[in-house]
Amino acid sequence: MDFNRQISRRLHEEHEATLALWNRFEQAAGARSWPPEVELLRRCAAALAEEVSHHFAFEEAELFPRMAEAGEGDIAELLAEEHAAIRAAAQEFSAALQAQDWQRLRTAGLELSERLVGHVQKEEMSLLPAIEDLLDDESDARLALAYAG
């Protein structure tokens, strides 16, 4: 889908980057040479920290309330619940990485990847199209500026 709103395009770009990165993790998790390169693990950890702090917080503070006001509160609530589950999985991933417990990291990473992929798909099919309809140009510009921070 093509997105006309700045904020939808930005979130879509981040979703694509998330999918690509966690696809690389899944490929590495299936390889015989586990654990993967440290750089991949660092990128996963850094992207995850950004995702759960900035991306999720923005959606929860700015987008989910707008959806609820427009009668889309059920999907906003579901997405918020998924954020909580992803945060918990992210903590497990980070703890396993910190401990260098490679088997635990593989398991945690695969669970996290599955949760992230499913979540991104839901946001692409529900959140972003809803935001396209809910925002006017002025609101979109304000949100895009706020998100860029």
pTM: 0.93
The domain of 92 spans 6-148
Any domain includes 129: yes
Q: What are the pLDDT tens digits along the chain (149 aa)?
A: 789 999 999 999 999 999 999 999 999 999 888 888 889 999 999 999 999 899 999 999 999 999 999 999 999 999 999 999 999 999 999 999 999 999 999 999 999 999 999 999 999 999 999 999 999 999 999 999 999 98
Any domain includes 1: no
List the CATH number of the domain containing 76. Answer: 1.20.120.520
Three-state secondary structure of the chain? CCCCCHHHHHHHHHHHHHHHHHHHHHHHHCCCCCCCCHHHHHHHHHHHHHHHHHHHHHHHHHHHHHHHHCCCHHHHHHHHHHHHHHHHHHHHHHHHHHHCCHHHHHHHHHHHHHHHHHHHHHHHHHHHHHHHHHCCHHHHHHHHHHHHC
- Number of folded domains in the chain? 1
Any domain includes 106: yes
